[in-house]
Structure 1
Amino acid sequence: MKATWNNQIIAESNQTILIEGNHYFPPESIKCEFFKQSDTHTTCPWKGEASYYDIHVDGKINPDAAWYYPDPKTAAKSIKNYIAFWRGVLVDPS
């Protein structure tokens, strides 16, 4: 799978985990130069607290467009630190 925003590939992996329609990418598959930690946090009843990244590409910012679970609940341990996308990030087969 490949995640693209603003005509730039920001993550690519054939080891994503599909949960609730979202592909979660392994942390080593993202291009770190495009990700900046956000102060945003949300809570999922069964996954736990999510943290967010803003995505920066060619001078444009997509706030909170990526999220991950640094300390997920037991039911979601398989996606610990895996990153998922929304807000216009395209996730398609490579």
Structure 2
Amino acid sequence: MQAVLDGTVLADASDTEVLTIEGNWYFPPDAVTAQALSRSETPYTCPWKGVAQYYTVQTAEGSYPDAAWAYPDPPASAVGRVGRDFSGYVAFDRKVTVG
């Protein structure tokens, strides 16, 4: 499964490695093209997943603020709810094609 924007592969992982949470695909940290992401200062805390880290996605075509996010340290209750540890897994905005 890949996450692609403007022809740039942002993440690439097998279907078994990717998680779906609330309709979003989450890629394991080691499957993400790190140089395509830069940390954003946008604050957000999900009531059940905890504090999010947003990222600006950079492609050759442009910069997309807050088009990716992760939960670096989700609470144990969130991990239990998902059924797997998703610490640091990265999800992408709807403008990113995942498939």
TM-score above 0.5, yes or no: yes
Aligned to 2:69: 67
Unaligned 5+ segments in structure 2 are 80-84
Cα displacement (A) at 1:28: 0.3
Which one has a larger percent strand, Structure 1 or Structure 2? Answer: 1
Q: Distance in 1 between matches of 2:49 and 2:38?
A: 22
Q: Extract structure 1 runs of 4+ deviating beyond 3 A.
A: none
Q: For residues 1-94 of structure 1, what are the structure 2 equivalents within 5 Å?
A: 1-14=1-14, 15-77=17-79, 78-92=85-99
Preserved CA contact (<8 Å) 2:55 2:69 = yes
Q: Distance in 1 between matches of 2:77 and 2:91?
A: 17
Task: Give identity over the alignment, percent.
Answer: 41
Number of aligned residues: 92
Cα RMSD after superposing both structures: 1.1
Cα displacement (A) at 1:59: 4.9
Cα displacement (A) at 1:75: 2.4
Preserved CA contact (<8 Å) 1:25 1:84 = yes
Preserved CA contact (<8 Å) 2:6 2:61 = no
Preserved CA contact (<8 Å) 1:62 1:87 = no
Q: Distance in 1 between matches of 2:19 and 2:87?
A: 11
Q: Distance in 2 between matches of 1:32 and 1:74?
A: 26
Indicate how the Cα distance of structure 1 residues 50 and 66 shifts in structure 2: closer, same or farther if over 3 A, else same: same
